Structure 1
Amino acid sequence: MARVKTDERIVVAMTELLRRQGYAATGIKQVVDAAEAPIGSIYHHFSGGKRDVAAAALRQSGAAYGELVGMLLAPYDDIAAGIEAAFSSAADTIAESDWLNMCPVTTVAGEVADTEPALRAVAAEMIDGWVALGTALYRDRGLPEADAHALILAVVAALEGAFILARTQRSTAPILAAGRAMGAYARSLTIGPENMGSTVGAPA
């Protein structure tokens, strides 16, 4: 098996450390120890040091996370069912991982938004990518552009917020509740106001 390149090992190590302890608590010595790399290799591959390694880690993990969420949502023609299934899968995964941070992008963004503008910009770039992919997916499922954009933005916000509550409370309940709420929102968009009135007073 081919040996993983030093720069790739460094990025993987940084990703795992960001997931577990955030940006401020992560030191270069920890990164190189986890990557089994000499400390000089950090500056050889990443001239900006810790900040550049963190940016690469956020881009890599953010892209993988976006692909994962897309894979969970894509198999469902019914938008609401797909959202609820994705949240349910996320709940199972975070519990099975012993409440490990699913993706460091938003966690790090919240930590450094006012102190590391370059990293905040990278996080925003990743989130914009998730929203663009989700908007395209929901547009292909028949939603108008504005509704598709609003829905995926709400889904991302709800999922990320639910992860924080789940990790804090050591419970999947926040994720499952958020999934039901987002499913209801999706149904309100797909039913449409012109059809909602027809259900009022209808026989059970």
Structure 2
Amino acid sequence: MQTRTRQQGDPGSGDRPGTRERIVRAASALMQRQGYDGTGIKQISQEAAATLGSVYHFFPGGKQELAVAAVHRGDEEFSAILREILDGHDDPAEALAALTRVLAEGLRESDWADGCPVTATALGTAGRFPDIQRAAADAFTRWQELVVAKLRASGIPETEAAELAVTVISALEGAELAAQVSRDERPLLLAGRHLGLLLAACRGGA
């Protein structure tokens, strides 16, 4: 899902940590919009205001290693957003509705260009780069675990919560893509509403 990727330089961007962070941010943002194959190392270096030598210094494995770092960044940023929203609502159904509104707002603000950076980066690499695929799979697992914890806290049994969490994340990913392609927030908002109904039904039977 979307992240709060920021493109401005970091304080102290002349040092190594600042340069590396700018490179990862640039790669994440570009791959989010263009995919893995549509993004080149030179473009990343230009976007990050870094030399090619700096890019290869931090990422000797080239674009493939950089894509893994970009996926990890997308994972961490969306995990933070998801955790914040889940923690901010007692009812998981209300949390999911709020999450879909946030995702819809992000799409609108980006003119429907910024979907999920994890999926955008990983889809074009399926079957070619197992390390990128593993990083994406780990991201989905982490997001599901956050949802599981919220569902368990609401009284849903562990096994059912685990299955529901897979459904939740899968539905949100698909709805976000549908909203982006159609340039319409309704797929996301409807997914949030119907996932909420599903969770309410499950809690009622718990």
TM-score (norm 1): 0.89
> Within the alignment, does 1:19 sit opposite 2:32 as a pair?
yes
Aligned length: 193
Find the aligned partners of 1:43 and 1:181 in 2 and give their Cα distance: 46
Question: In the TM superposition, what whole-angstrom CA distance separates every residue of 1:164-192 from its partner, at most 9, and x where no partner exists?
Answer: 11111100011111111211110111110
- Structure ID, larger Rg: 1
Of the three residues 73, 92, 95, the one matched with 2:86 is 73
Partner of 2:5: none
Q: TM-score, normalised by structure 2?
A: 0.88
Question: Where do 5+ consecutive residues of structure 1 fail to align?
Answer: 194-204
CA RMSD of aligned residues (A): 1.5
Matches within 5 A, 1:105-184: 105-184=118-197
Q: Given residue 144 of structure 1, which amino acid in structure 2 is its aligned partner?
A: P
Q: Is the 8 A contact 1:106 1:123 kept in 2?
A: yes
Secondary structure of the 1:98 match is coil
Unaligned residue ranges in structure 2 (runs of 5+): 1-10
Higher RCO (Cα < 8 Å, 6 or more apart): 2
Q: Is the 8 A contact 2:33 2:115 kept in 1?
A: no
1:165 and 1:16 mapped to 2: Cα distance?
A: 20
Structure 2 Cα separation of the partners of residues 106 and 52 of structure 1: 16
Q: Tell me the equivalent position of 1:199.
A: none
Contact preservation (8 Å) 1:131, 1:149: yes
Between the aligned partners of 1:168 and 1:103, the Cα distance in structure 2 is: 12
- 8 A contact 2:96–2:195 mirrored in 1: yes
Say whether the 8 Å CA contact 2:115–2:177 is kept in structure 1.
no
